[in-house]
Structure formats: C-alpha cells, structure tokens
Chains A and B, each alone.
Chain A
Amino acid sequence: MSQAGKGFGPLHPAAAAARDLLSPSDLSRERQLELYRWLALNRAVEDRLTNLYRQGKVVGGLYSSRGQEAISIGTACALAPQDVLAPLIRNLGALLVRGIRPREIFMQYMARGGSPTGGKDCNLHFGDLSRGVMAPISMLGALIPMMAGVALASRLQKVDRVALTYIGDGGTSTGDFHEGMNLAAVLQVPLVVIAEHNGYAYSTPTDRQMRIRDLAQRAAAYGIPASIVDGNDVLAVYEATRRAVERARAGGGPAMIEVKTFRMKGHAEHDDASYVPAALKAEWEAKDPIRRFERHLVDRGLASREELATIVAGLQRELDEDVAFALDSPLPPAERAFDGVYEPGEVTA
C-alpha cells in the first residue's frame, strides 16, 4: 500500500498524540520571534516569486518550499556563523538565514546582471562561501560527498566548522547519497544531513523510491545516528539540528535528521500536483508550519496576533523595495556569456 496514500505523518509519539502542539522549548521569546520572522520572510519571498512568475518575469522554473519552511529555518538557525550550509531547491529560507538578501534571490530568478551568478545560472543555483553557503547541485545526492569534503577540510585545517546539507526522500536513492554517507562515516567528519521526507520526488511517491518507511534506516546502514523529527515543528527541527551540530562540532562525527513533512505545491510552479490525493493535501494543510507556530506563540503568551501582523507588515515593506530594485536592474550584457570558465593564474617556471 502506498505510504503517501495512507498519510505518513509525524512518527514520534508526542507529535502523533497532539499534532497541533509544538515541542516545548527553552528558547527565549526574542529567539522564537526571530524564528517566526524568518519563517514569515521565507513564505513572503516565495509568494512574491510566485507573483513574478505569473507575470512572466521569472526566466526559468520556480520551485516552492511551501509547507517545508520550518525545516530550512530551524536547521539554518541552529548553525554558527563559521559553519557551511549547502541548500537544495526547497531551502530558500536557509539562504535568507545565512544572509542572502531577498533582492539577490529576485534578481537571480529573473536572470539579472546583478544577480549572484550574473545571469549565468538559475533559481537558487548560487553560493557564497563568505556567507557559508555552498551552491546546490541538481544531480541529487552530489552534495553529500561534497559536504563531507567540506567537513573533512575542517578536520584537516583544525578549524571549528560543521557542514550541513539537505537531501530529499527521492535523493536518498542515488549512489552519491550512499557513497557520501559511507565516506562521511568512515572519515568521521562533522557533517549533518537533513533528510526532508516530503512524500514526493517530483510526481513519484516515496513508496516508489524505497521499501522502507523511514529514511533514517538508510543512515543506520552506515553507522550514522539518525533521529526522526516532525518537520512542521520549527522548534523540534531547531533542537534536533542543534544537538546534531553540537555533537559534530565536538568530534562525534556525522549525523542525519529525518524530517517528516509534505510538499504543499507541485514539484515546480508548472506542476499542478494533480497526482496528490486531495485528502492528503488537506491533512497537511492543517499542519502548516507557520500557522502552527503562530498559534504556539499566541497560546503561550509570547506574542499577540497584532505583534505578529506587525512583523509581517514590516517584511512586506522591505520586499516591496527589493522587488522594485530587482525589476529595475538590467539583464547582463551578452559578452558575459564567455567569461569566467577558468580561475586565472598561470603557473610559470
């Protein structure tokens, strides 16, 4: 029977018993409001991108992380400034936390000359190691060995730097995922892998990817400890990541966190996801990570509805400026197509 069809909700007992409640947290009010601000910004940026896409301003495809924002935000917020993160296409929020500005993302999707890649690459395919961001690779799985190498470099250079990257349920079927996990385990490097179990790889449900229920089982095969977390609970994601990152930082080796979530839109904007059962989508709609966190903040007296609305309104004003800036910025000059293949610097006798 299809796991996706049954609904493969959060597995840990607390979450299963009371799905709407978020994990208890000793994070300060300020820190929790900061998480909220990032969550709201993540969704607001993607909503703006959707508008731009519908206006024909986005040059290529558009990939949304709607419903999965708590994962990008919870994980990225658990890192220290010196750590390095490699996102996948649904980790826009993690980029924001690392200091990538919304206007850079708007320009990138609209292929502007002032975008991070100068118009040479699309959507989130950019990085900036000065902000601890490695560019993603579309060949899924490739980032696992690459980030194992980033972590290996930490050890060789004797610097305190943890590497964190993401993989989807589909991506765990690749050879690179398995080679990278095994290599990270053998070398005992500080790598944290976030496995986002969102039910579908493009149109293919998880039960057509594997005969196991939990991605965490795959980590066990390599002697890598893995935990399973409600991916729509930003506090749980944050706490689990913080523990794994601390353990890696202390020399404990790699770890994996399986976050159970759901992809609330199609693979990309062109995909209406008609293959997803309506009941399943409705079930997850009720577990929207941002609405849940809002209820948590209000119910615990950490913020009023008005305060949250004020935060969102402030973000929207910033985004108005960023969108206008990106729309006004020019496309790159054609001759830029030819430069930058090689790093200059001839080695002479």
Chain B
Amino acid sequence: MSETTYLEAIRQALAEEMAADPTVFLLGEDIGRFGGAFKVTEGLLDRFGPERVIDTPISESGFVGAAIGASMMGMKPVVEFQFIDFMANAFDMIVNAAGTSRYRWGQKVPLVLRGPSGGGVHGSAFHSGNPEGYYCHAPGLKVVAPSTPSDARGLLKAAIRDPNPVIFLEHKFLYRRIKEELVEGDGIVPLGRARIARAGRHLTVVTWAAMVHVALDAAAALAGEGIELEIVDLRTLKPMDDEAVLASVRRTNRALVLSEEPQTGSFAAEVAARIAELAFGFLDAPVARLCCPDTPVPYSPPLEAAYLPDVPKLIAKARQLLAY
C-alpha cells in the first residue's frame, strides 16, 4: 500500500464521508473547480457535483451562518476556510450562534469548520494562525488538531459524524511534508482521546499538530544522552483527554506544554493549569510552557524561525526542567 500525505488523507476523509452520507456537503471559497487554495478538495466537484461542493462569495460570516442553518435542517456541512485566520470573520457565528445553540434551545448543530492553520511557511500574520485558544474558550465547540495523516483522516471522519460543531485545525506545514501508510477501512479516531506519540520516563511533553514533530525530533536528539521524553499528542484539544495527560505526568513527574500559539491566554495555559491543579503532588518541577511570543507572526525567515518553537528551544527548556 502506498503512502498518503496529510493533505491527501484529509481529501480522502471528505470523499469517503460524502460518498457514505448524502447529507454531507462542502462550502467554501474556490473549493470547486479550483480545488481550494491548497488543493484539498481537488476532484471533489467532478465527483459530487456543484450542489455538494459549493463555491461561496468571500463572506466567511455569511457562509458559516448558512452552514449553521443548513445543519439545523439535517444537513452536514463541512466549511473550508482558505486560511484559518479568516475564521475570525465568522467568530460571532461560530461562538454565539453555533456554540450556544444546543445549550440554549436544545438544537444540535452538526458542523465541521476546517482549514489550514499554523506557521512555518512564511505566510506572515494573516496566514499563520493558531486560534485554538479562542475556540476552546467558547462553550459548545469541539476543537481538533491532528499531527499525522492517519489522525487527520480518522479524526476528520469522526468530526463529520459528530453531532456537534467541530473546529478542525489542519496544520499547513504538514500538508505535503509528512506521509504514511493509512489503515484499511474507516480508521476512525474518536474525538477526545490523546495518544502517546513516544513513550519516555523523564519528562512529559504535551503538544499537538506540527509541534508533535518538533517534540519527536527533540526526543530523538535527547535519547542519545539517555533522556527519555514522553510525548502526549492531544489530537483533540476540546474535549481534552485529561486522564492521558495526568497518567503520563504521574509517570514522569515533569511536564512541559509545547504549543505554536502566542503564550498569553493560550490553550497551552489551560493544559498547564490542569496539570498544576490535578497532578501537583506528582510534580518535581513547575509545569513549563514553550509557546510563541506574544507578537503577530513575522514574515522573514530569520524572524519566523526566532518566533516559532523548534528543537533547540525545546531541548533547552527540557534541560531546565530536568535540572530543576
């Protein structure tokens, strides 16, 4: 069996769910004939037709609103944002209309909002967003951020079948850079369950999306010195798999949260707080965070490299914690 990229895995999940469920349809900018800015939906218009792959005006709030309305009528819309940063234009719809509906009046909103997030490709401030903190904060939403092709496919399929609004953050740095052989069959990855991306006994690194690969590289580098990092890939941020994180921290007694978000008010802050609150007695060092600085994402390669967490920064932070 051939290897599949992260991007192809997402396309496969969309095609398989559309084939299996006639209520699934796609909405977004340039997703039809053009196949999307990153070509995720390439070929789907030919296969499923213009009533199921709908090109929209440049109108994020408008088409998210329409997706919410259609969802309430029994359809399963999957909305693509050209860049995840543009979700901000639909923030009110997502947070106030979609997120509160089930609680306020019992109306479910099965809906997936997906798009390319993250930096590392010199996209600068408007094209490198990591908005997980905003949406994890808002009640009623689920937030998913896969790190591998198998997870991208399996989590997206689970997201489409989930009866709630799900924000699906695809990391654009991973789209064509990582590939693997996918399992046969559905390969569903349930929402809300973390995985141990690498087992280790000295320090737990909790992370997600592209940063999982930074953590794996750092772990490989430190392994030569006999330092074993345990890497917990959250996969779903909300609902978060607290037990997987706490179980790991109880084993390693040290925790570092690695995230591509600007640090203040990040979802990483929530992860760190939960560890401090629920596993304080197991900790041999304060919970640490390695995030981006509180600046917009810069453009020029040396600036962006300085901004993003990377293997040397993670190794330095890990050493500090281990020496505490």
Contacts and interface: CB of A to CB of B under 8 A. Distances in A.
Given A117-B104, A149-B68, A156-B75, A142 B163 contact: no
Interface stretch (B30-38, B105-113, B309-317): B105-113
A340 interface: yes
Nearest to A144: B65
B43 interface: no
Interface in A119-178: 120-121, 125-129, 134-135, 137-139, 142, 144-157, 161, 163, 175-176
Contacts of B52: 156
A159 to B, nearest CB: 9
Interface stretch (B2-10, B187-195, B284-292): B187-195
Interface stretch (B56-64, B174-182, B257-265, B268-276): B56-64
A148 B69 contact: yes
Q: Contact residue range for chain A? A: 35 or more
B301 interface: no
Given A142-B92, A343-B108, A179 B186 contact: no
B25 A341 contact: no
Contact of A154 (B66, B73, B108): B73
Contacts of A349: 154, 186-190
Most chain B C-beta atoms within 10 Å of own C-beta, residue among A129, A146, A161: A146
A156 B102 contact: no
A56 interface: no
Contact of A180 (B62, B161, B164, B188): B62
Contact of B163 (A116, A147, A153, A343): A343
B136 interface: no
A120 B72 contact: no
Given A126-B105, A146-B97, A347 B188 contact: yes
A347 B57 contact: no
A149 B191 contact: no
Contacts of A116: 105
A157 B73 contact: yes
Interface in B177-234: 186-192
Given A125-B105, A341-B139, A341-B140, A149 B57 contact: no
A180 B65 contact: yes
Contacts of A148: 62, 65-66, 69
A320 to B, nearest CB: 28
Given A148-B65, A176-B65, A182-B57, A127 B74 contact: no
A186 B66 CA distance: 12
Contact of A156 (B51, B101, B157, B187): B51
Given A148-B69, A150-B73, A182-B57, A137 B62 contact: no
B40 interface: no
Contacts of B73: 84, 129, 149-150, 153-154, 157, 161
B190 A343 contact: no
B106 to A, nearest CB: 7
Contact of A149 (B69, B158, B192): B69
A51 to B, nearest CB: 26
Contacts of A152: 66, 69-70
A201 to B, nearest CB: 18
A346 B164 CA distance: 10
A137 B108 CA distance: 15
B78 interface: no
A146 B98 CA distance: 10
Contact of B102 (A84, A182, A341, A348): A341
B103 interface: yes
Given A347-B158, A347-B191, A149 B106 contact: no
A44 interface: no
A303 interface: no
B17 to A, nearest CB: 11
Contacts of A344: 163
Interface in A172-206: 175-176, 179-180, 182-183, 186-187
B101 A345 contact: no
Nearest to A348: B190
B65 A347 contact: no
A183 B63 contact: yes
16 contacts: A120-B104, A125-B105, A128-B105, A129-B73, A146-B72, A147-B69, A149-B70, A151-B69, A153-B69, A161-B73, A163-B69, A180-B66, A186-B57, A187-B54, A348-B190, A349-B186
Q: Nearest 10 pairs between A and B by C-beta?
A: A149-B69, A145-B65, A179-B62, A149-B66, A153-B73, A343-B108, A146-B69, A343-B163, A153-B70, A149-B70
